[in-house]
Amino acid sequence: MDGLFTQYIDPYYLRILMLIGINIIAALGLNLITGVTGQLSMGHAGFMSLGAYASAILSMQFQVPYPLALLAGGLVAAFFGLFIGIPTLRLQGDYLAMVTIGFAEIIRVFFLNFGPGGKAVGLAGIPQNTTFSTVWLLVLVVVLLNALLLNSRSGRALYAIRENEIAAEACGVNSTRYKVLSFVLGAFLGGLAGALFAHYNYYIDPNIGSFMKSIEILNMVVLGGMGSIPGTILGAVLLTILPEMLRQLPTTFPAFSLIC
């Protein structure tokens, strides 16, 4: 089935399409945390690298089947989402942002020193199981589930927390429970995206969890409009294509140096 899509597409464009799909999944995850629930998280790439490493190690060292490895990548990230979500619920706004940045940095430094993950060199030779149809089928499923969640009672509770947490609590919304829920689900999607990326890119290194990657995903959510699914998809598409279009630019600038 995959050949049907891929035989007519140039490999370069195919790669961009794959990355768009993976970024949509990651950005929808962050959209749940930051866009919908209003909890500013600036360490989403940390969840991605957790998912990427967990799934890559499982399928390389333990020969775990591909779908299970993907699921495990998401679950490991979700577990850490729970782990970071519960204590940070006491924190608000920018304090939470700082803790999530710190959390992602700790993960990056951990993988820089993590023997089974190849330390700074990274992991190469991950089986290339992610195909065009896997990515886009998963995008479809994730978008549908997201839409279902956001239109449900729980989804409205999440929006209510973003708008006014005190008012939401006064209306009987258990804000702690829903904030943890959004963290866990968002982290799961981040981990899933990371696992997809690891099994597509064949190679991962600790820098896939860098601060700049987190910012990139946050920009996708903000650009498209916080809390909107079509907006997040649009943001992910635009911000994946734009850097590719600007790739030619640096070569047109002459190299010069002010300080020798």
Partner 1 sequence: MLWQQLLNGLTLGSSYALIALGYTMVYGIIQLINFAHGEIYMFGAFAGLFLVTVLGANLFVAIVGAMLFCMVLGMLVERVAYRPLRGKSSRLSALISAIGVSIFLSTLMALLAQTNTRRYPEIISSQTYHLGAIEVSSLQVLILFLSAGLMVGLQLVVKKTRVGKAMRACSQDLDASCLMGINVNRIISLTFAAGSALAAAGGVMVGIYYNAVWPYMGTMAGLKAFCAAVLGGIGSIPGAMVGGLTLGVMEILGVAYLSSSYKDAIAFAVLILVLIIRPQGIMGQKIVKKV
Under the binding rule (CB under 8 A), the answer on residue 101 touching partner 1 is: yes
Q: Binding of partner 1 at residue 115 (CB under 8 A)?
A: no
Q: Is 95 in the site for partner 1 (CB under 8 A)?
A: yes
Contacts of 98 (CB under 8 A, 6+ apart): none
Q: Which structure tokens are listed for 181?
A: 């829920």
Quick check: 60 and 125 in contact, CB under 8 A?
Answer: yes
Give CA 133 to chain center in angstroms. 19
Among 103-111, 182-190, 192-200, 238-246, which window interacts with partner 1 (CB under 8 A)?
103-111
112 binds partner 1 (CB under 8 A): yes
Work out which of 64, 91, 143, 149 binds partner 1, going by CB under 8 A.
91
What's the CA gap between 205 and 139, in Å, rounded? 24
Question: Footprint of partner 1 on residues 35-54 (CB under 8 A)?
Answer: 40
CB of 142 to partner 1, least distance (A): 24
For residue 34, give Cα distances in angstroms to 26, 39, 44, 210.
12, 5, 10, 18
User: CA–CA separation, 105 vs 117, rounded Å?
Assistant: 16
The one-letter amino acid code at 17 reads: L
Question: Considering only 17-25, 59-67, 107-115, 190-198, which stretch makes contact with partner 1 by CB under 8 A?
Answer: 107-115
Contact region with partner 1 (CB under 8 A), list: 52-60, 148-156, 215-223, 229-237: 215-223
206 three-class SS: helix
Count interface residues toward partner 1 (CB under 8 A). Answer: 34
Q: Is 70 exposed, middle or buried (0-12, 13-18, 19+ CB in 10 A)?
A: buried
Q: Which is nearer to partner 1, 139 or 173 (CB)?
A: 173
User: Is the four-CA dihedral 168, 173, 175, 178 of positive or negative sign?
Assistant: negative
CB of 260 to partner 1, least distance (A): 8
**Do 251 and 237 meet the contact criterion of CB atoms below 8 Å apart?**
no
> Judged by CB under 8 A, does residue 97 bind partner 1?
yes
Query: By CB under 8 A, is residue 4 in contact with partner 1?
Result: no
**Residue 151 DSSP one-character state:** T
Only one of the segments 4-12, 16-24, 94-102, 238-246 lies at the binding site for partner 1 (rule: CB under 8 A); that segment is: 94-102
Two tokens, residue 168: 């939401």
Binding site for partner 1 (CB under 8 A): 40, 87-88, 90-92, 94-95, 97-99, 101-103, 105-106, 109-110, 112-113, 166-167, 211-212, 215, 218-219, 222, 226, 253, 255, 257-259
